[in-house]
Amino acid sequence: MGTLAVVGGGVIGLSTAWRAAAAGWQVTLFDSAVGSGASRVAGGMLAPLSEGWPGEEQPLELGAASLVRWPDFGTRLGSVFAAEGSLTVALDAADAEDLRTVAEWVGRQGYDLRLLNRSEIREVEPSLGRGARLGLLAPTELAVDNRRLLDALRSAAIASGVEFVEEDARDLDLLAADQVVLAAGERSAQLWPGLPVRPVKGEILRLRARAGVTPAPTRVVRARVHGRPIYLVPRDDGIVVGATQYESGHDTQVTVAGVRDLIADAETLMPAIGEYELAEAAAGLRPMSPDNLPLIGRLSDRVIVATGHGRNGILLAPITADAVLALLDGSALVEAKSADPQRFSSIAATSGASS
């Protein structure tokens, strides 16, 4: 063991810092605003199975391997879970056919999914509208309260001895540490030129329950409305509604059009949602890679990257922390092999840029 600098204080950086410190590393985490990036603007869905699609074996395998780790990972942090089970519903014939395709393909991979008819949907989630014609129930998928999770991770990191430096690292070579973990989300490409990570804007709404409102769904509920993805994630005090997706550089302003579409689509899914208080509208920048798989691996003898998780940073936090710990120990986590950053030639060309 030795000294470790973790660059980035989102869910990936915090998880890695906590687990590394607990394993005996002397860890310093650098971030000027811990827990304020994409991890704070998230639904907290842990849904790799219901998002599966034929031909996308690697994302499914990686996500499922992390989902299996979540019960232990989350329990060690306290009360962070917000829901158990997810329900994806189809509102038209084309989406219903897609759900049948997902159920058949993911089921062949050995995972538990169940198709529900109209009456069964209403039975398990009575707040949903009558337009849902077919449902896909994933009973083992979960959701967490992302903000409660960030607070718990920070507390766990502090308890394990992590030192927090409230400034952003600007040059990895200047960090006084034996090893460096680059987990700065979409900023990572600024610190290691050639990393194929770009910001993708996502807007979410937080709705607060008022007295007498229709109860929120007990599970994560997902659908497509006019081709736009929409999800409802329960919270103790209401619902998180998400999420738009825009290729808009570093813009984090919430747009009228984004809010309009989210509310309209959510109301199509749950007609009584208009009874809720609109408590917050926020936007964050997801760190996306070209193939929608994260980058977890060595860039040099000293630098490990853990970024590019896109929409799945919270889902993949446990397996990312395990993979980084394995790399720090001189080995590799087989389940994370699809995330090897050296699959991109742009990284290989610049892998000697920092040591």
Domains of the chain plus CATH, in order, are: 3-40+147-196+290-350 (3.50.50.60), 45-144+199-288 (3.30.9.10)
- Average pLDDT of the segment spanning 308-332: 98
Total-model pTM = 0.96
pLDDT tens per residue across span 143-193: 999 999 999 999 999 999 999 999 999 999 999 999 999 999 999 999 999
The answer to whether 86 and 48 have CB atoms below 8 angstroms apart is: no
Whole-Å CA distances, 197 to 154, 185, 187, 251, 310: 25, 8, 8, 16, 9
Q: How confident is the model at residue 249 (pLDDT cuts 50, 70, 90)?
A: confident
Tokens of 246: 């825009």
- Predicted local confidence at residue 252, as pLDDT: 93
Residue with token string 């929120």:
216
How buried is 32 (Cβ within 10 angstroms: 0-12 exposed, 13-18 middle, 19+ buried)?
exposed
- Average pLDDT of the segment spanning 25-34: 98
